[in-house]
Structures are given as C-alpha cells and as structure tokens.
C-alpha cells in the first residue's frame, strides 16, 4: 500500500515560499482569528473541546491534554501558571524548532487560548539555551502580538490579561522533564521533584498550580479551538487523534519532518515511501521510533498478539515495517511513540557503538540526584565505551544489562527509565552482536561506516 497523503495542520506553513515569521504575514493568513472567537466563549467550553478532541501531549508521554487540564487545582486561590515546554532536547526530535523559528505566532496564539481557557495570567516559554535565534524570534513575536493587544493587559477589550515571557535554558537535557524545568525556571539546578507531592497541576511553579505543555501540543489546541474537539477527533484513529509529526533522521534518503493523521501510516510507508528508503546499496537494520530513549526495533523481528479494532479483538502479526506509527500500536510492541523522533540505522552500524553513543548522552545528562541513575548511566557509558575503545569481553552484554535493570522504578523521574531502555532493548534484540563484539571489532569496518563514539 502506498503511504497516505501528508496532512499538515501544524506544519501548514512550514517551508512555504514567501511565508515569514512576522505578525503581518500571520494576520494575512487568518492569524489570531481563532483567539478573537475564543475569548468570546466560556473558558470551560474551550476545556471541553480539548477534552472531546482526545488530544494527547506531544512532548513525549502522550498524556491526554484535557485530562491534564482537568487536574489543575482551581480552588487554591493561588495563581495558575502555564509553561510552554520548548526545551526540545530528546535526541532525534526537531519539530518544535521549526514551529518556533518559522511560525512563532501559531504557538503564541495557541498559548494565549490555552491560558484563557485555564484562567492563566502568566505564561513562560522555556526554550532550550541552544536556540538563541528562536528565543529572539519569539520575543519579537510576543512584542508584535502585544502591540496588537493579543497579549498583555485587557486582551481585545475583554478585561482578560495575560503575559508571556521567554525564558532560556542553558544546555541541560533534564530541563525537558517538567519538574526539572520548573526548578530551572525558579533559578535553581534542574533537579526533578519527587511526585507525589509535586504534581505540577497542584504544586508547580512557585508552589502554585502549573500546566506544562509541549510547543506542538499548544498548536494543536489552537486548531481544536478553531474546528472543535469533535472535528479534531475525526482526524487520525480513536485514542490517537489529530495529526502526528514525525522527525526522521539517520540513514534514509530523505530525512526531515512529515505530518500525517495519527495511526494512518506504518513504519514501512514512512521510511520507504516518504523518506525514500535506505541509502544506496544498504539495508535497514534498526530503528528507534520515538526519541533516543524509546526501545529500539530490529528489522526482521515480528510482533504478534491481539489488538482492538473498533469493538473487536483481532490478531496482528507485524514486521517492523507493518507497525502503525501511533502511541498505542508502538506501545503494544514494547516501545513508544514518544516525541516522534525516528532514528534510522542501516547495516553499516554496529549496535555496540550506537549504544555507546546513546549511553554517553544519558551519562552526561543525568542530573545526579538518584544514585541508580547517576551511577548506572555512568557505568553503562564506561562499559560500552570500553568495549569500543578498549577490551571487549563476551560477558559485557550481560554486565550492561545487569546495570540497566537496576535503574528503572528506583528513581525520582522518568530519566531513569529513559536511560535504561536503550541498553535493555539493544542487548535484548542484538544479543549476538554484543556477545561477539570482541571478535567483530577485529574485522575491517564497512567503508561507509561512521565513527559513533
């Protein structure tokens, strides 16, 4: 089956010739019309639309946005904050970058609508430090929107006021984790907080109720406010509504970003039809489907089980190519859709070396609060990099696995899972490659192979 057509609702204007990131261009394209209508509605109605839409967060966890908004403590009498998670730091993910650089007003409109719906008077956009240009673009866009009374005091004469400020991170991945982000925004080290009791919806920024949403999620909210929750829920598949943006990188002919109705495209269609297949003369070996922490899939493995289609349970028997790219299907086969970052590796890649690269990342980024995470990620890095640069032993795979197995479930934040899943899944799926690496490393490498660590 050929791949379905892209449906760009969030990336509609990305890379469009002549489309610029200033407010005039945005207004010419119908910008802020949705906000104008939204502020005439009851906030609860907007929250209802988001609930009906089934929108799931695009930051990684896929948590339903309407449910998250429903958890906000509205009785405390404290101000409610909204934070836009623009930290985009999960390796393999690069969608929010294009929204912020090329269509910043879409994000600002979505943010203000979300703030209005939740009675938020102050929002912060937490953008990663390595996007100084993005930060400047957003600041300029906010100033433009303020000048036109879409942001700031008494928005469009409604008596409702809301400010947005941009806050820059400084190169730490853990600031993407929502409670680490909050600590960072409070001017501290980004050490994630323990839940309970620090659920942001109740005890977030300055111990006030706080909503943290991803950049892309808030753009979907704008679309939902425009078209209604029901119409949105018709895009995609039940429980995986709306569109999904895939960021494809690594060994394909056409890496890049592609937006499809959720659940309508399979991995094979995405990689072969949309991204042009493997590089000349090579074959696909493995793919990480949802950012570097998602468990790896090996081409050639098969997944069998029963799944719900409509009201019926049907058998499925999938190869990697057959898996629909939605949260539930990817979850069913033991991995995740995560942030939509699809990293492709071909037959030139040695899995020990690829894992050593990933382990170096996590070891660098652990915040260090929890011993299993800090020490575990460090030792996984040391062992895998010793395998590559020093002596490799047949039992190293088992050793790595034993370290990885002791991390998840024993840490303050989900980084513990994120750093152990690569090791666990690489070793489970490429056991022989780990066991035989001491032999394999003596052989000449394929000419096209790149150094990975």
Ligand X SMILES: Cc1cc2nc3c(=O)[nH]c(=O)nc-3n(C[C@H](O)[C@H](O)[C@H](O)COP(=O)(O)O)c2cc1C
Query: Which residues are within 8 A (CB) of 362 and not within 5 positions of it... i.e. 6 or more apart?
Result: 293, 377, 380, 381, 415, 418, 419, 422
Q: Does 370 bind ligand SF4 (CB under 6 A)?
A: yes
Q: What angle do CA 274, 276, 279 make, to 5 degrees?
A: 150
Distance CA 179, CA 190 (A): 8
Given the complex with ligand X, which of 81 and 434 has the nearer CB atom? Answer: 81
Distance CA 171, CA 129 (A): 5
Q: How far is CA 401 from CA 30, 398, 429, in A?
A: 53, 5, 12
Q: Does 248 bind ligand X (CB under 6 A)?
A: no
What is the contact mask toward ligand SF4 in residues 122 to 161, using x (rule: CB under 6 A)? Answer: ----------------------------------------
Distance CA 198, CA 210 (A): 10
Q: Does 220 bind ligand X (CB under 6 A)?
A: no
Which partner in another protein, ligand SF4, ligand X, none is near 345 (CB below 5 to 8 A by kind)? another protein
Distance CA 429, CA 316 (A): 20
Which partner in ligand SF4, another protein, ligand X, none is near 59 (CB below 5 to 8 A by kind)? ligand X
Q: Does 81 bind ligand X (CB under 6 A)?
A: no
Residues 234, 243: contact at Cβ < 8 Å? Answer: no
**292, burial (CB in 10 Å: exposed 0-12, middle 13-18, buried 19+):** buried
Segment interacting with ligand X, rule: CB under 6 A, options 29-37, 222-230, 377-385, 409-417: 409-417
Distance CA 139, CA 154 (A): 20
Q: Does 240 bind ligand X (CB under 6 A)?
A: no
Taking CB under 6 A as the criterion, which residues in 383-442 touch ligand SF4?
411-413, 415-416
Which partner in another protein, ligand SF4, ligand X, none is near 373 (CB below 5 to 8 A by kind)? ligand SF4
SS3 content of the chain, % helix, strand, coil (to 5): 40, 15, 40
Rounded least distance, CB 375 to ligand SF4, Å: 10
Rounded least distance, CB 96 to ligand X, Å: 7
Which partner in another protein, ligand X, ligand SF4, none is near 188 (CB below 5 to 8 A by kind)? another protein
Q: Does 289 bind ligand X (CB under 6 A)?
A: no
Q: Which helix (H) or strand (E) holds 82?
A: strand 81-86
Distance CA 62, CA 330 (A): 12
Which partner in another protein, ligand X, ligand SF4, none is near 255 (CB below 5 to 8 A by kind)? another protein
Segment interacting with ligand X, rule: CB under 6 A, options 61-69, 300-308, 330-338, 370-378: 61-69
Residues 425, 296: contact at Cβ < 8 Å? Answer: yes
Q: Does 21 bind ligand X (CB under 6 A)?
A: no
Q: Does 367 bind ligand SF4 (CB under 6 A)?
A: yes
Residues 352, 159: contact at Cβ < 8 Å? Answer: no
Given the complex with ligand X, which of 85 and 425 has the nearer CB atom? Answer: 85
Name the DSSP letter for residue 274: I
Which partner in another protein, ligand SF4, ligand X, none is near 412 (CB below 5 to 8 A by kind)? ligand SF4
Distance CA 374, CA 364 (A): 9
Rounded least distance, CB 200 to ligand X, Å: 9
Q: By the criterion CB under 8 A, which residues form the site for another protein?
A: 88-94, 96-97, 122, 128-133, 165, 167-173, 184-190, 206, 247-251, 255-257, 292, 341, 343, 345, 349, 354, 357-358, 360-361, 364-365, 367, 450-453
Would you say how long the chain is, in residues?
453
Given the complex with another protein, which of 257 and 318 has the nearer CB atom? Answer: 257
Given the complex with ligand X, which of 90 and 109 has the nearer CB atom? Answer: 90
Q: How far is CA 30 from CA 34, 35, 96, in A?
A: 8, 11, 21
Residues 242, 263: contact at Cβ < 8 Å? Answer: no
Rounded least distance, CB 324 to another protein, Å: 22
> Most distant CA pair in the chain: distance in Å?
73
Residues of this chain that bind ligand SF4 (CB under 6 A):
174, 192, 366-370, 373-374, 411-413, 415-416
Residues of this chain that bind ligand X (CB under 6 A):
57-61, 63, 65, 68, 85, 87-90, 176-178, 212-214, 217, 413-415, 418
């Amino acid at each position: 089956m050929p791949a379905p057509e892209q449906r760009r609702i969030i990336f509609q204007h990305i890379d469009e010739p002549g489309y610029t990131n200033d407010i005039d261009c945005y207004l010419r394209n119908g910008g802020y019309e949705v906000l104008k209508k939204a502020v005439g509605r009851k906030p609860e109605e907007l929250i209802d639309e988001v609930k009906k839409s089934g929108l799931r967060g695009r930051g990684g966890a896929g948590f339903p946005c309407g449910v998250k908004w429903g958890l906000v403590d509205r009785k405390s009498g404290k101000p409610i904050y909204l934070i836009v998670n623009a930290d985009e730091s999960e390796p393999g993910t690069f969608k929010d970058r294009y929204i912020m650089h090329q269509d910043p007003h879409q994000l600002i409109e979505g943010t203000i609508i979300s703030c209005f719906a939740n009675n938020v008077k102050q929002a912060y956009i937490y953008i990663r430090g390595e996007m100084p240009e993005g930060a400047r673009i957003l600041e300029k866009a906010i100033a433009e929107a303020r000048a036109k009374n879409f942001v700031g005091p008494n928005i469009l004469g409604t008596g409702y006021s809301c400010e947005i400020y941009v806050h820059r991170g400084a190169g730490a991945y853990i600031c993407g984790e929502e409670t680490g982000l909050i600590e960072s925004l409070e001017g501290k080290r980004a050490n994630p907080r323990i839940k309970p009791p620090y659920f942001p919806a109740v005890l977030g920024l300055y111990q006030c109720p706080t909503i943290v949403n991803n950049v892309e999620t808030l753009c979907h909210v704008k679309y939902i406010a425009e078209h209604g929750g029901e119409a949105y829920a018709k895009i995609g598949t039940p429980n995986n509504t709306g569109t999904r943006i895939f960021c494809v990188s690594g060994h394909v002919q056409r890496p890049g970003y592609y937006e499809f109705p959720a659940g309508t495209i399979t991995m094979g269609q995405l990689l072969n039809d949309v991204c042009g297949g493997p590089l000349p003369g090579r074959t696909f070996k493995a793919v990480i489907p949802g950012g570097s922490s998602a468990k790896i899939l090996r081409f050639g493995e098969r997944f069998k089980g029963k799944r719900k289609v409509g009201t019926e349970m049907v058998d499925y028997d999938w190869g990697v190519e057959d898996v629909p790219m939605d949260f539930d299907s990817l979850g069913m086969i033991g991995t995740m859709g995560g942030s939509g970052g699809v990293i492709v590796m071909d037959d030139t890649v040695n899995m020990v070396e690829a894992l050593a690269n990933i382990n170096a990342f996590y070891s660098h980024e652990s915040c260090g609060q929890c011993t299993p995470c800090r020490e575990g990620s460090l030792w996984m890095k040391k062992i895998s990099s010793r395998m590559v640069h020093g002596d490799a032993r047949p039992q190293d795979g088992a050793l790595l696995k034993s370290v990885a197995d002791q991390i998840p479930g024993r840490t303050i934040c989900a980084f513990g899972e994120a750093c152990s899943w690569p090791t666990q899944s690489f070793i489970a799926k490429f056991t022989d490659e780990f066991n035989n690496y001491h032999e394999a490393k003596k052989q000449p490498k394929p000419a096209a192979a790149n150094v990975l660590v």
